Amino acid sequence: MTDKNRVFIFDTTLRDGEQSPGATMSHAEKLEIAAMLDEMGVDIIEAGFPIASEGDFAAVSEIAKQSQNSVICGLARAQLPDIDRCWEAVKHARRPRIHTFIGTSPLHRAIPNLDMDQMAERIEQTVSHARNLCDNVQWSPMDATRTEHDYLCRVVEIAIKAGATTINIPDTVGYTAPRESADLIRMLLERVPGADEIIFATHCHNDLGMATANSLAAVEAGARQIECTINGLGERAGNTALEEVVMALRVRHDIMPFDTGIDTTKIMNLSRRVAQVSGFPVQFNKAIVGKNAFLHESGIHQDGVLKNVETFEIMRPADIGLNETNIAMGKHSGRAALRAKLKDLGYEVGDNQLKDIFVRFKALADRKKEVYDEDIVALVQDAAANTGDDHLQVKHLKVVCGSDGQSADLTMIVDGEEKTVHATGDGPVDACFNAVKQIFPHNARLQLYQVHAVTEGTDAQATVSVRMEEDGRIVNGQSADTDTILASVKAYVGALNHLIVRRAQLGRDDKQISMYSH
Amino acid sequence: MTDKNRVFIFDTTLRDGEQSPGATMSHAEKLEIAAMLDEMGVDIIEAGFPIASEGDFAAVSEIAKQSQNSVICGLARAQLPDIDRCWEAVKHARRPRIHTFIGTSPLHRAIPNLDMDQMAERIEQTVSHARNLCDNVQWSPMDATRTEHDYLCRVVEIAIKAGATTINIPDTVGYTAPRESADLIRMLLERVPGADEIIFATHCHNDLGMATANSLAAVEAGARQIECTINGLGERAGNTALEEVVMALRVRHDIMPFDTGIDTTKIMNLSRRVAQVSGFPVQFNKAIVGKNAFLHESGIHQDGVLKNVETFEIMRPADIGLNETNIAMGKHSGRAALRAKLKDLGYEVGDNQLKDIFVRFKALADRKKEVYDEDIVALVQDAAANTGDDHLQVKHLKVVCGSDGQSADLTMIVDGEEKTVHATGDGPVDACFNAVKQIFPHNARLQLYQVHAVTEGTDAQATVSVRMEEDGRIVNGQSADTDTILASVKAYVGALNHLIVRRAQLGRDDKQISMYSH
């Protein structure tokens, strides 16, 4: 490996990913994901948009404080208060970065009503201001792929002169194609004075299904930072998927001789965890991390795979941390074995948390013959999602359903006080949710409800995910149980607990920001 | 549009897509999908692999008979009986095609133990044989992207001389990248005598997330047929997604001036239907057809979209047939309105089917305030999936669940005879499935269980999908109801009904074929 072939991985799961409608994550979830990204070897973590809300500010600050090796980056619009607020959050990191941006295409220039010269001046001011605060500054011309080439060269040069150390070229609408993506980076490297002194980044969206190829084409042309998210999470069709660019560079090192610092064996755990906390499931046929990515059906292919694994596989499941020997534990497994298994799965838990998970594990092992890795992961995630400190807790539930109608008897503890109600509804889930609503009245609307069996077999645990919206605030809840109805109620109540926390915050959604209103 | 810029769309949802583990479709579903593809303007439909099973043979034959404009293609290994069988099935089409293939890379040559000369001879024999039967012959060197260039040129030339009219270049393991994909087509066009007389096709897999870009790069280099599937369905990470290549060619016609014959407004309905019958859900952040593909969250983006839709959108939802005015019908809507709505959604139903759907619609409208397009789609699909002719029918269900345990009382009609049982289990779903098992004992294992709310709100219908496996046979069942437990039982029973049909057939799974055993 030569240094000039090192490609930096900039993960924006917590900023551009979390910006997807419905993917809002809790503070604790953001910290956990950030720690996993840091451990995986992500070079730069974009942790949030500090001025967007108190919650974003707190998350970026805490992620900065806990960071080990990763650079911690915050986003800021081209306004001085944004940049100051961003610095206040990221300055706690060992290696902080300020990322500031403005939309430079004709469509984007029209909205704040700045002409080319006015915008150029704004860029000079804001990048200089950022650089006075922090010696690691990234600047992005939003919608770069639809910006006039001459103007793009002009503003990139201004940003470099003003002190930007990384220039990111976003394909904001997912519009470009590989050749065009490469040509743009090549043009900038050739035409902009000082371009060889800084790092060019590529930031692609997947609207036409080409984000991965566009990112790699930019790298071949000279970009040395790829902006991406786990599972390709992001608005619309999402961002470039980290797992795809990293594995493509590894598998096709022969034609793309570039290296990243990613420990690929951590990919699968991160993918699962991000799917869980965002409530965005990964489709079976998703590249690298889909459930079927390593599965073969047809006789021809099976025959080939049995004879020589390379016949149809270009990667091994172990490369991304996918274990094939999966049967984990039985009812006779002890606490030490559980701790070892958790460590193996990437979870380091404290003694109290282990105790709690062990109780749940024993209860599950009594009911279920075979306890798989996925079951253990579901238990840990359930424990993390629903704690004893919550305002609302489910104490007892009895549901009747079927052809003759549905009703629920529910007992909950609300801030220490026990309440019991009876409710009916259209289906058992509706009856239960109506019961919860009687106990804790609210106007939140259910946006998403889904159930997935964690493993095979009719006695499997099911993971229930719900997403709710109230006055623009979006919250998720999850729970796992062999009883899908009980899990549904716990997930719903979990979401309400998140909502109670969000109501108390001055959340992002309470003051929708606009880059153009200032 | 000039003729030389016309790109043919070859859809292999029913062959390479249906080959995905668990995506097995019923005969009726295959016919329905084929009719939809034909109507959408797909140039060539690969309808199956006729020698693989009696079921495949019957499906390809029927699809050939019902075909209107599309060429109907069947797959055959490089063996004379395969090719004969394929011809027997496709010959009924107005425009039939035989597609024969053999693995030409070193890894694939090693398995049947043929040396280069022996394989070349086999190719000459089999392609000539196919061409004697049919004047439209496609030949594929499987794993072409890992075949030595000299040998690839040699065998492509042989196939052309033997009468192949289309040469397909498969990236069987999803290994290539755009530049390499283009270079390969360019090399073949330059080096192979007669290459300008035939059509080159590109067939990509998405293992590294680059199938769309690789396909388009091949087209830019001179390929004029793209092989793809709806939703990118297919083994492992799937095939090139039809919706992505078609929309990319449309949106970026400025830099890729190629045309297809696809009516893009049919995309969304086909995507939904394929997701339903295959049991492969589409992830929210899937390009073009994901639930979020046209959704915006962040304040900045929303502001931009409100001011000018082009700021963040490069396509309109209507381009793919996605209606934004979605509130469909209420309890006062009549049968004519329902028929009109169904037609609008792409469903042409007979009088009997309309009657059945109308009854279900009225029942739903009584329970649910707003009946959306998605609800209607779920009703139609439920009606198609579970008919009155089934061996097993659910008559009555009562379930108790919650903190104190779970039990089910179930009455079913088995071939006309009524049976009632009581069962317990780990969770309400397990209790119900145990009850079904008491009434109809079987050894099928539940591989997949998932529930998705059809629309928002706690009173939404939920669609339950189950996938079961017995002795290598894989079957799916689906049902929709506001009662998730009742829908679970109906989906499970639906899968068992499919299994009963499959047991009676000589299915593909009963005689796993191998190209190397002959």
Is residue A166 included in any domain, yes or no? yes
Please judge whether B484 and A429 are an interchain contact, meaning their C-beta atoms are less than 8 angstroms apart: yes
Give CA–CA dist B291/B454, Å, rounded: 12
* Residue A418 sits at the chain B interface (C-beta within 8 Å): no
Give CA–CA dist A360/A376, Å, rounded: 10
A457 chain-B contacts, CB cut-off 8 A: 445-446
Is residue A516 included in any domain, yes or no? no
- Looking at residue B416, what is its pLDDT? 87
The ipTM of this complex is: 0.82
Alpha helix locations (H) across A134-266?
Answer: 149-161, 178-191, 211-221, 242-251
Same domain, yes or no, for A198 and A218?
yes
Give CA–CA dist B405/A116, Å, rounded: 69
For residue B301, give its domain range.
Answer: 292-321
Last residue of a domain, one of B345, B369, B385: B385
Is residue A185 included in any domain, yes or no? yes
Smallest CA-to-CA distance from B235 within A316, A300, A257, A155 is with: A300
- Looking at residue B301, what is its pLDDT? 56
Give CA–CA dist A280/A278, Å, rounded: 5
- Looking at residue B390, what is its pLDDT? 78
| DSSP run (H or E) holding A486 | helix A484-504
Please judge whether B483 and A216 are an interchain contact, meaning their C-beta atoms are less than 8 angstroms apart: no
Residues of chain A with pLDDT under 50: 1, 325-327, 506-518
* Residue B212 sits at the chain A interface (C-beta within 8 Å): yes
Please judge whether B238 and A285 are an interchain contact, meaning their C-beta atoms are less than 8 angstroms apart: yes
* Residue B19 sits at the chain A interface (C-beta within 8 Å): yes
| DSSP run (H or E) holding B392 | strand B392-402
Give CA–CA dist A97/A138, Å, rounded: 7
Query: Is this model's pTM higher than 0.90 or not?
Result: no
| pLDDT tens track, chain B, 518 positions | 458 999 999 999 999 999 887 777 878 889 999 999 999 999 999 999 999 888 899 999 999 999 999 999 999 999 999 999 999 999 999 999 999 999 999 989 988 889 999 999 999 999 999 999 999 999 999 999 999 999 999 999 999 999 999 999 999 999 999 999 999 999 999 999 999 999 999 999 999 999 999 999 999 999 999 999 999 999 899 999 999 999 999 999 999 999 999 999 999 989 988 988 887 888 889 999 988 888 755 555 555 655 666 666 788 888 888 865 444 577 777 888 888 888 777 777 888 888 888 888 887 877 776 777 778 877 887 776 666 667 899 999 999 988 888 899 999 999 889 999 999 988 899 999 999 999 999 999 888 888 877 777 777 788 888 888 888 777 778 888 888 899 999 999 988 988 887 777 544 444 444 443 33
Where residue B417 sits, what CATH number does that domain have? Answer: 3.30.160.270
Task: Judge contact between A487 and A479, C-beta under 8 A.
Answer: yes
Please judge whether B311 and A248 are an interchain contact, meaning their C-beta atoms are less than 8 angstroms apart: no
- Give the minimum alpha-carbon distance from B341 to chain A in angstroms, rounded to a whole number: 24
* Residue A507 sits at the chain B interface (C-beta within 8 Å): no
Same domain, yes or no, for A264 and A310?
no
Same domain, yes or no, for B274 and B314?
no
* Residue B251 sits at the chain A interface (C-beta within 8 Å): yes
Smallest CA-to-CA distance from B105 within B153, B77, B143 is with: B143
Is residue A130 included in any domain, yes or no? yes
Same domain, yes or no, for A231 and A248?
yes
Structure token digits, residue A400: 């009747």
- Give the minimum alpha-carbon distance from A17 to chain B in angstroms, rounded to a whole number: 10
- Give the minimum alpha-carbon distance from A291 to chain B in angstroms, rounded to a whole number: 8
Smallest CA-to-CA distance from B358 within B380, B378, B328 is with: B380
Same domain, yes or no, for B369 and B420?
no
Same domain, yes or no, for A359 and A343?
yes
Please judge whether A402 and B397 are an interchain contact, meaning their C-beta atoms are less than 8 angstroms apart: yes
Please judge whether B427 and A484 are an interchain contact, meaning their C-beta atoms are less than 8 angstroms apart: yes
Nearest-by-CA chain B residue for A449: B453
B483 → closest Cβ in A313, A427, A460 = A427
* Residue B261 sits at the chain A interface (C-beta within 8 Å): no
Same domain, yes or no, for B70 and B120?
yes
Smallest CA-to-CA distance from B409 within B395, B401, B399, B418 is with: B399
Same domain, yes or no, for B485 and B428?
yes
B300 → closest Cβ in A434, A460, A513 = A513
Q: Is B296 annotated as a binding residue?
A: no
Is residue B513 included in any domain, yes or no? no
Same domain, yes or no, for B59 and B115?
yes
* Residue A301 sits at the chain B interface (C-beta within 8 Å): yes
A245 chain-B contacts, CB cut-off 8 A: 209
Where residue A164 sits, what CATH number does that domain have? Answer: 3.20.20.70
- Looking at residue A308, what is its pLDDT? 65
Is residue A517 included in any domain, yes or no? no
Residue A477, CA distances (Å) to A6, A19, A24, A489, B62 in order: 39, 17, 11, 10, 47
- When divided into structural domains, chain B yields a total of 4
Please judge whether B237 and A286 are an interchain contact, meaning their C-beta atoms are less than 8 angstroms apart: yes
* Residue B210 sits at the chain A interface (C-beta within 8 Å): yes
| DSSP run (H or E) holding A65 | helix A54-66
Tell me which residue has tokens 């496996």.
Answer: B469
Tell me which residue has tokens 């190397």.
Answer: B516
Last residue of a domain, one of A341, A359, A385: A385
CA A183 to chain CA centroid, nearest Å? 30
Beta strand pairing status for A199-204 and A225-228?
parallel
Is residue A225 included in any domain, yes or no? yes
Nearest-by-CA chain A residue for B182: A179
Last residue of a domain, one of A225, A249, A278: A278
Is residue A285 included in any domain, yes or no? no
Same domain, yes or no, for A135 and A228?
yes
B451 chain-A contacts, CB cut-off 8 A: 449-452, 484
Structure token digits, residue B270: 């086909």
Same domain, yes or no, for B117 and B53?
yes
Same domain, yes or no, for A42 and A94?
yes
- Looking at residue A6, what is its pLDDT? 98
Task: Judge contact between B88 and A291, C-beta under 8 A.
Answer: no
- Give the minimum alpha-carbon distance from A51 to chain B in angstroms, rounded to a whole number: 12
Smallest CA-to-CA distance from B494 within B418, B401, B412 is with: B412
- Give the minimum alpha-carbon distance from B366 to chain A in angstroms, rounded to a whole number: 10
Structure token digits, residue B423: 């069962």
